[in-house]
Amino acid sequence: MWKKSARTHQSPACSEDRQHEHSRKKVIKCKAAVLWEPHKPFTIEDIEVAPPKAHEVRIKMVATGVCRSDDHAVSGTLITPLPAVLGHEGAGIVESIGEGVTCVKPACGKCRICKHPESNFCCQNDLVKPRGTLRDGTSRFSCKGKPIHNFIGTSTFSQYTVVEDIAVVKIDEASPLDKVCLIGCGFSTGFGSAIKVAKVTPGSTCVVFGLGGVGLSVIIGCKVAGASRIIAVDINKDKFAKAKELGATECINPKDYSKPIHQVLQEMTDGGADFSFEVIGRLDTMTSALLSCHESCGVSVIVGVPPNAESLSVHPMLLLLGRTWKGAIFGDQLLGFKSKDSIPKLVADFMAKKFPLDPLITHVLPFEKINEAFDLLRAGKSIRTVLTF
């Protein structure tokens, strides 16, 4: 999610030429979308972006997706310090580098989690207890003389941003940044949740709750993994056509049934699916998804980000017979793949046409129309809007 795909020309991140020496000392004045308070629209402001310090990279943003997690930060579902520059699904070009950046290097590689073969939620993340800063406790953004916070180490809703070298990956120069930016969060989260987290098996039955950009990417993953039935669930039937186009074999709307949706799904799947995914971010649908997978062999994965400070209570019997319940932040990037290898590889796979991204992009807008992009998301009219700079 906070992986920022940075395309570099002639690897400037590794070069030592004079122009970089010079430009990395300058403050850049540019435009950014600032969120001053929760529940308010963004305002496009003139901001200053300080030069990158040691082990930081300043990036000229080319494109960024709008993800529901950004909206969670606006609504307070995800608590993050404000005012801030949000956005985390971006791609851009390295503008300058700070001291000690030898090459763009993703993940610290040193903490317990980076060393763990099956995990990648680097301990240096700024998501679990967000400070809204880079690692030295400050941000490189300021506006009207006030410091402006970062968002989960990325802040892509700005013409220029500064990120740490551990939060950047170098990708194929030829890749279209206005598409592969989705690999920075939504696509990888969904696809990886199916392939790497649930480990969907050929011939299996999958149920996907929520058909936004992330849920549809779960469907793409289930299909690539060879699932034979993919049941898509959403309360917005306008999402069904795209779900079918991407591999859903059936689409159901809980509003069309009087009984609980997990019962409907259990009946449709001979007692429960092999795999189920919650890709909405609601506690009730997390329980429904759990109950929709088979009580002894089912695997259920939570992908949606739940409301801040709310808890679920479930009877242990639901797990005692053998169900597996998992959660996955950023799907593949953080559980199973190492981002260092996985992001450039996913970009290469996209270039080799192993999976599509175009169907996920329903709107492309100039960055200045960011509030329109959020309105489309909230109204259920878009899958992903890509903002271009």
Q: Which range touches ligand PAD (CB under 6 A), out of 15-23, 168-176, 268-276, 324-332?
A: 324-332
C-alpha dist (Å) from residue 237 to 85, 211, 343, 344? 33, 10, 32, 34
Q: Is 246 in the site for ligand PAD (CB under 6 A)?
A: no
Active site residue 206: no
Contacted by 82, from Zn ion, ligand PAD, none: CB < 5 to 8 Å by type: none
Residue nearer to ligand PAD on the CB measure, 159 or 385? 385
Total residues at interface with ligand PAD (CB under 6 A): 34
380: left (phi over 0), alpha (psi -120 to 50) or beta: left
301 near ligand PAD, rule: CB under 6 A: no
| Residue whose C-beta lies closest to ligand PAD | 212
Sign of CA dihedral 213, 218, 220, 221: positive
Of the candidate spans 1-9, 55-63, 161-169, 381-389, the one that interacts with Zn ion by CB under 5 A turns out to be 1-9
Q: Does 233 bind ligand PAD (CB under 6 A)?
A: yes
Cβ-based nearer residue to ligand PAD, 95 or 332: 332
Cα torsion angle, 110, 112, 117, 121, sign: negative
Strands 56-65 and 160-164: antiparallel
Subset of 49-108 contacting ligand PAD (CB under 6 A) = 67-69, 72
Interface stretch with Zn ion, choices 7-15, 41-49, 124-132, 177-185 (CB under 5 A): 177-185
The pairing of beta strand 250-252 with beta strand 229-233 = parallel
Nearer CB in complex with Zn ion: 294/384: 384
Using rule CB under 6 A, residue 330 touches ligand PAD: yes
Count helices and strands in the chain by DSSP H and E runs = 13, 17
Distance (Å, whole) CA 204 – CA 95: 46
Q: Which of 200, 243, 280, 299 binds ligand PAD (CB under 6 A)?
A: 280
d(CA 364, CA 63): 10
Paired with 278 in beta bridges are 209, 302
* Cβ proximity to Zn ion, 211 vs 264, nearer residue: 211
- Binds Zn ion (CB under 5 A): choice among 33, 67, 86, 219: 67
Q: Does residue 73 interact with Zn ion by CB under 5 A? A: no
The rounded distance, in Å, linking the Cα atoms of 104 and 255 is 48
Q: Which does 127 bind (CB under 5 to 8 A by kind): Zn ion, ligand PAD, none?
A: none
Residues in the chain: 389
Told to judge if 20 belongs to the known catalytic residues of this protein, a careful annotator would answer no
CB of 330 to ligand PAD, least distance (A): 4
Instruction: For residue 232, give Cα distances in angstroms to 259, 338, 355, 384.
Output: 17, 29, 19, 18
Site for ligand PAD, residues 206 to 225, rule: CB under 6 A: 209-215
- 176 near ligand PAD, rule: CB under 6 A: no
185 makes contact with Zn ion (CB under 5 A) = yes
- Cα distance between residue 198 and residue 214, in whole Å: 15
Give backbone dihedrals phi and psi of 301, rounded to 5 degrees, phi first: -120, 125
CA–CA distances in Å: residue 219 to residues 46, 230, 323: 40, 7, 21
**Residue 66 or 148: which CB sits closer to ligand PAD?**
66
By CB under 6 A, residue 303 contacts ligand PAD: yes
Residue in 74, 185, 206, 386 binding ligand PAD, rule: CB under 6 A: 185
Joined together, the tokens standing for residue 314 give 């479930």
Task: Establish whether 294 is a catalytic residue.
Answer: no
- Residues with catalytic annotation? 67, 69, 72, 88, 185
Using CB under 6 A, list all residues that contact ligand PAD. 1, 67-69, 72, 185-186, 189, 209-215, 233-236, 239, 254, 279-282, 285, 303-305, 328-330, 377, 380
